[in-house]
């Protein structure tokens, strides 16, 4: 029940009406009996700064951030977590309210600070770790956009030994590799860059342990798109993750199953990025099973 003590969490984006996050988070909040509500907020780019300031005035406890605000929101925050700073994008904001009574008239002043995190890469790594250890593994990623950046930084920071990135626009992949090398100079990891084509990808996959497709190929409504890789390019010891989650059985997942590879569905990344956000805001363990069921229901799976 919503009452005078209900606290607010939410998600900001433009558009926002298709978000699955409220279903997942509200189910988790209800399960733990927390007097919170999670709401969608449609925020246009020219209102982003006002939305953050308004959030502070309204006592909002935490926000998720989605397209197109993940990078632009950073300049409106007081502090950025190290991983989010390396990725260059924030998908989770924590609002901290500290009361002080230092003012001369004895009124308590509330000092509000904001901190940005990126939980997208965490979501992908945790989803894959359900199926295999990533330690000392070779990981191949297709795509070099926003999602690839989050996944590549978190993977490179989590104990893998080799990372290959293939992208249609090879300069974009080179720029990502250069950022990885600069920011993770102390980490011993072999990073290779190539233009995406079937020959290059086939060669990389032949000795890879994990394959993550971060391109939108196969995403609804283009479900009949030719998959980024075919069954003959994959082997049965490969773990294949398509981060597209609509539909669940993408054209790539179908090919991976034909090759008897282990598959990781895209919704798992969405689930675990949300789990991590929930835990950052509330400081307690999230009820994963309940939140997963709510997410699958919302996705119609």
Ligand X SMILES: NC(=O)c1ccc[n+]([C@@H]2O[C@H](COP(=O)([O-])OP(=O)(O)OC[C@H]3O[C@@H](n4cnc5c(N)ncnc54)[C@H](OP(=O)(O)O)[C@@H]3O)[C@@H](O)[C@H]2O)c1
Q: Which residues are catalytic?
A: 70
Closer Cβ to ligand X, 8 or 274, answer by number: 274
CB 138 within 8 A of CB 210: yes
Binding segment toward ligand X, per CB under 6 A, in 17-25, 38-46, 251-259, 264-272: 264-272
CB 20 within 8 A of CB 246: no
Give the footprint of ligand X on residues 197-256 (CB under 6 A): 214-217, 219, 243-245
Among 8, 144, 180, 238, interactor with ligand X by CB under 6 A: 144
Phi, psi (degrees; rounded to nearest 5) at 75: -70, -10
Closer Cβ to ligand X, 23 or 269, answer by number: 269
Half-sphere exposure of 215 (CA within 13 A, CB side): 22
Give the nearest distance from C-beta 149 to ligand X in angstroms: 8
- Is residue 145 within the footprint of ligand X (CB under 6 A)? yes
CA distance 21 to 15: 14
Give the nearest distance from C-beta 283 to ligand X in angstroms: 23
Among 10, 28, 40, 146, interactor with ligand X by CB under 6 A: 146
- Is residue 118 within the footprint of ligand X (CB under 6 A)? no
Give the nearest distance from C-beta 19 to ligand X in angstroms: 12
Which has the closest alpha carbon to 265: 301, 229, 222? 301
Binding residues for ligand X, how many (CB under 6 A)?
25
User: What is the chain's Cα-based Rg?
Assistant: 20
Other beta carbons less than 10 A from residue 239's beta carbon: 21
Among 147, 163, 191, 294, interactor with ligand X by CB under 6 A: 147
Name the residue with the smallest CB distance to ligand X: 145
- 267 Cβ contact list (under 8 Å, min separation 6): 245, 248, 295, 296, 299, 301
Q: How far is CA 131 from CA 1, 43, 67, 239, 263, in A?
A: 38, 37, 29, 8, 8
Among 111, 169, 206, 260, interactor with ligand X by CB under 6 A: 169
- Is residue 296 within the footprint of ligand X (CB under 6 A)? no
In this structure, the strands spanning 62-65 and 92-100 are antiparallel
Closer Cβ to ligand X, 41 or 267, answer by number: 267
Give the nearest distance from C-beta 147 to ligand X in angstroms: 3
CB 13 within 8 A of CB 67: yes
Among 36, 122, 196, 278, interactor with ligand X by CB under 6 A: 196
Residues that bind ligand X (CB under 6 A): 120, 123, 143-148, 167-169, 172, 196, 214-217, 219, 243-245, 266, 269-270, 273
């Amino acid at each position: 029940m919503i009452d005078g003590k209900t606290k607010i969490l939410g998600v900001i984006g433009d558009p926002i009406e298709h978000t699955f996050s409220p279903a997942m988070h509200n189910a988790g909040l209800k399960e733990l009996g927390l007097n919170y509500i999670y709401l969608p907020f449609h925020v246009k780019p020219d209102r982003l700064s006002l939305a953050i300031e308004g959030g502070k005035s309204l006592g909002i406890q935490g926000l998720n951030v989605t397209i197109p605000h993940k990078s632009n929101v950073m300049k409106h925050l007081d502090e950025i977590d190290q991983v989010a700073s390396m990725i260059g994008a924030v998908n989770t904001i924590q609002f901290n309210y500290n009361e002080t009574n230092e003012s001369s008239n004895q009124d308590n002043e509330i000092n509000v600070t904001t901190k940005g995190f990126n939980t997208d890469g965490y979501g992908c790594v945790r989803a894959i770790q359900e199926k295999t250890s990533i330690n000392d593994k070779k990981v191949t990623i297709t795509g070099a956009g926003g999602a690839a950046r989050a996944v590549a930084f978190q993977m490179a920071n989590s104990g893998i030994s080799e990372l290959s990135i293939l992208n249609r626009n090879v300069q974009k992949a080179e720029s990502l590799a250069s950022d990885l090398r600069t920011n993770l100079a102390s980490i011993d990891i072999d990073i290779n860059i190539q233009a995406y084509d079937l020959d290059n990808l086939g060669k990389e996959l032949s000795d890879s342990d994990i394959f993550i497709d971060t391109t939108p190929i196969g995403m609804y409504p283009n479900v009949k798109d030719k998959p980024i890789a075919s069954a003959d390019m994959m082997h049965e010891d490969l773990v294949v993750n398509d981060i597209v989650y609509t539909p669940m059985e993408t054209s790539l997942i179908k090919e991976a199953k034909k090759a008897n590879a282990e598959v990781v569905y895209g919704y798992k990344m969405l689930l675990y990025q949300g789990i991590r956000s929930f835990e950052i805001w509330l400081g307690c363990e999230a009820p994963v099973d309940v939140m997963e069921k709510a997410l699958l229901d919302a996705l119609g799976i």
